[in-house]
Structure 1
Amino acid sequence: MTTPDPWDVISALAARFNAADAARGMPPEESQVLQILKIGEEFGEAAQAVIGAKGTNLRKGRSHSWEDVHDEVCDVIITGMVALARMRPDAAAYFAGQLDLKAGRFLPAPGEGGD
């Protein structure tokens, strides 16, 4: 089985959500705002999973595993990627450029070492 390019999947998800929102009469700008808010919701679920994995909620105890945390972090990433794809047709290229920019700030240039 061939693994699809993640951005192809993200673009398909974005197109599906855009079509569903358009069918409901929702303007694109409103869809984008709500998608960004969805990132916050997913982050909250990741935070809740961390609290549950650490057992710091006395009422619930250890309610989550670290695998749950990993799943929720993936949800945050996917939701963020979909948000970017819903805002920008060039999401994959824009993301690659931003990744290069951030890496340039925090990682040593090739040959510089950094140990």
Structure 2
Amino acid sequence: MTDLFDLAALVTARLDAVNGRSREEIGLRILKVTEEAGEVAAAWIGAIGQNPRKGITHTSDDVAAELADVVLTALVAITSLGHDPRHVVTACADKAAARLDTYPSTPPE
């Protein structure tokens, strides 16, 4: 199994070699996250058949795969900014976990 953080570093290195590391290039990598999120939205619309002209065109597996693309693309963007994505994601997870501790474990009645 491929480690996502290692893969993000490899993809970033490849992009750096091909496209350079200009401010504009880094910005495009960040914008790529939005493009991938749009593909998630399109897949979800297709999964629920929201467009009556097209009907159901996607599955929940398609939606999950598009979400995974968002994750990898975000890791590449974080790496491209010069940050360690493992550290950034861990800090985010720790912050989310701390918020969970402030909520009751059972819903209020």
For Structure 1 versus Structure 2, the TM-score category normalised by the shorter chain is 0.7 to 0.9
Give the match for residue 32 of structure 1. Answer: 26
Identify which of 103, 110, 114 aligns with 2:105: 114
> 1:35: Cα distance to partner?
0.7
Aligned residues: CA RMSD: 1.9
**Structure-to-structure mapping, 1:1-115, within 5 angstroms:** 3-22=1-20, 27=22, 29-105=23-99, 107-108=100-101, 114-115=105-106
User: What TM-score does the superposition give when structure 1 sets the normalisation length?
Assistant: 0.82
Percent identity (aligned) = 36
User: TM-score if structure 2 supplies the norm length?
Assistant: 0.86
Runs of 4+ in structure 1 displaced over 6 angstroms? none
Pair 1:104–1:64, CA change in 2 (3 A)? same
Higher relative contact order (CA 8 A, sep 6+): 2
Compared CA separation, residues 98 and 88, structure 1 to 2 (3 A): farther
Q: Deviations over 1:54-104 (max 9, x none)?
A: 001011110111111111111111111111111124222122122212221
Structure 2 regions of 5+ residues with no counterpart?
none
